Amino acid sequence: MNSVPLRSRGIFIASFRHFSSKGSLRSARFRPFKSTLIASSLAGAAALSPPIFSKSNMNDPYTGDKLVFDSNRSDDTSAAEAVTRLRYTCSLDSLHTSPLLSNAFLPLTPDTDTHDFVRMCFAQFRPFAYTRLMSLLVKPFLSSFMGHSDVNGWLGVGQMHMLSTKQCRDLLRLNEEGEEKKGEGKEAEAAEEEMPGLIDIEAKDASSSSSSLSSATEEKEKKEEKKIETKKRTAGRLLDIGAGDGRVTTQFAPCFDEVVTTEVASQMVKRLRAKGFTCHQTADIKTGVPHDGGYDVVSLFNVIDRCNFPRQLLMDVKPFLKSINSRVIVATPLPLNAWVEVGTKWVRPAERLTGRCCGGTWEDGVKELAREYFLPCGFKVLSVSRLPYLSQGDNYRPFYVLDDAVFVLSPLTDEEQVALQLQMTQVGPLPAERHA
C-alpha cells in the first residue's frame, strides 16, 4: 500500500484510530480501519497510510489510483471526468435469471446534483481546505473519545450523496409535476399495477390542443391556468430510518407532504432538527417511533449493513406501513461488508447476512437479497436501481464511492408470500454469475 507523505516541522508523536469519512448509522458506510501517525523531530516528517478499501472497491477505477487529483485542473473538469466513471448499469441477462427480478431493473443516470457534489469534493480537497484540515488534524483526536458519527456531525464533514430529487421521483414513478409517471409498453403497465395510490393528483384536462386556440395569447393564458389548476400531493408521509446528517433526506423531502426521521448519534439528531425535520433519537423503531396512522413510504438508506439485526429491522418496518400500497425503499452497498458502530469502536453485527450478497458481482448480491432477505421478511421487489454512493473525502482522496443497490419493495400478504416461496423452491438455487 502506498503511503501519503505528511511534512511536519514540530515534534509530534501520536497514535489514533482512523475511519473513512462517513456520518451515521446509515452514513458510516465504509469499514473502519486503523492507521498510525508517527512523526519524529529527527526526520521532520510523518507518513500516514490511507484507508484500506473494502474488497468491493479495491479495483474500481473511480476509487483506485486512476483517480488522481491534479491541482492544475479546474474542479469542473475533474468532476466531469470522475462522474463518467460512476456505475449506473448492470447485466440484465444475469439479473433476469431470478423470477423475482423479471423486468425489475430501473435505470437511473447521473444528473446536475451528482456533478455538483463531486465538484464540491474536489474543491474541498485543495490544500488548506476545511475538510482536509479537519480530517488531518482534528478528527483523529476527537475519534479517541467520541463516536465516529458524532465527530462527523460536530465538524460538519463526511457529507454524502446518493439520490437527487429527480431520481427520487423516478424511483417513486413521479415526474417533475408530481404526477404518476406514464411509460410505454408492458413494463410501464406492470409498473402502474404494482405502484398504485402513491399519488393523488386533482383533476386537470390536458387534452386541449393548441390548434384550437385562436391566438398565441390565448395559448399562453391557458398554460398559466393549467399550472395553477394542477395540484400535487406527492407521496404522502415518509419515515426515514437512520437519516444521518439529513443530506439524502433533504433530496427526498420534496416528494412528500411530511417527513419523519430517526437517528442514533446525538450530533446528527441536532443537524436533522436544525434542518426542520422531526427526528426521534432511537435505535429501536418499535419503541422509539410513534405510528401516527402509518406511513406511505419507509426508507432505509444504507442501514441494513450498519445495524445488529437487519432481518428484524425490516420486519419491524411492516407495522409502520399505512396500507398494502405503501412502499419500503432499501439501499445498501454490494457486496455487503457489515459493521456496527459502538461508541468509539466498530464491531461485527450480531446477525450477519451471508451468502452471495457478501461476495461476487453486484447482480449476485441483488438476487441473493431478493430471495434470502426480502422474501422471507414478507416483501417483493418492485424495482431495483444501481447507484454510486458518494462520500466526501478526507486528506487522501477527494471522495469515496460504494456500489449501491436501491430497492423499492412492496409488502406481501401471507398468501402471496407462501406462493412465492413455493415458486422459488421449485426453481431451485440460482446459478452465480461471475464477471471479471
For the stretch 212-245, pLDDT in tens is 445 555 555 555 544 433 445 478 899 999 999 9
Number of H helices, E strands in the chain: 15, 14
Whether residue 399 is contained in a domain is answered as: yes
Q: Which of the two residues, 75 and 321, has the higher pLDDT score?
A: 321
Whether residue 372 is contained in a domain is answered as: yes
Q: Which of 24-28, 56-60, 76-80, 106-110 has the lowest mean pLDDT?
A: 56-60
Tell me the pLDDT tens digit for each residue of 305-326: 999 999 999 999 999 999 999 9
Cell of residue 124, nine digits = 474541498
Q: What one-character-per-residue DSSP string does 304-320 give?
A: TTSSS-HHHHHHHHGGG
Q: What one-character-per-residue DSSP string does 61-127 give?
A: TTTSTT----TTS-HHHHHHHHHTT------HHHHTTSGGGTT-B------HHHHHHHHHHHHTTST
pLDDT, residue 28, reads: 41
- Return d(Cα 100, Cα 96) in angstroms, integer: 8
Closest CA to 29 of 339, 335, 343: 339
Domain total of the chain: 1
- Return d(Cα 71, Cα 93) in angstroms, integer: 42
The CATH number that applies at residue 167 is 3.40.50.150
- Return d(Cα 336, Cα 54) in angstroms, integer: 10
Whether residue 207 is contained in a domain is answered as: no
Whether residue 313 is contained in a domain is answered as: yes
pLDDT, residue 177, reads: 46
pLDDT, the chain, mean: 75
Whether residue 226 is contained in a domain is answered as: no
Whether residue 88 is contained in a domain is answered as: yes
Whether residue 95 is contained in a domain is answered as: yes
Cβ burial 372-383 (10 Å sphere, 16+ → b, else e) = bbbbebbbbbbb
Please give the order of strands across the beta sheet that includes 327-333.
160-161, 379-392, 399-411, 327-333, 297-301, 237-241, 258-263, 278-281
- Phi, psi of 202, deg, nearest 5: -70, 150
pLDDT, residue 431, reads: 56
Whether residue 367 is contained in a domain is answered as: yes
> Range of 184's domain?
1-192+233-436
Contact 22, 29 (CB under 8 A): yes
> At 264, which amino acid appears?
V
User: Is beta strand 258-263 parallel, antiparallel or unpaired with respect to 35-40?
Assistant: unpaired
Residue 147: pLDDT band with limits 50, 70, 90? confident
Q: Which of 192-201, 230-239, 330-339 has the lowest mean pLDDT?
A: 192-201
- Return d(Cα 102, Cα 161) in angstroms, integer: 28
Q: Which of 30-34, 113-117, 240-244, 344-348 has the lowest mean pLDDT?
A: 30-34
Cell of residue 232, nine digits = 400535487
Residue holding cell 417527513?
A: 259
pLDDT, residue 420, reads: 87
pLDDT, residue 419, reads: 87
Global pTM? 0.73
- Phi, psi of 211, deg, nearest 5: -65, -20
Residue 306: how many other CB atoms lie within 10 Å: 25
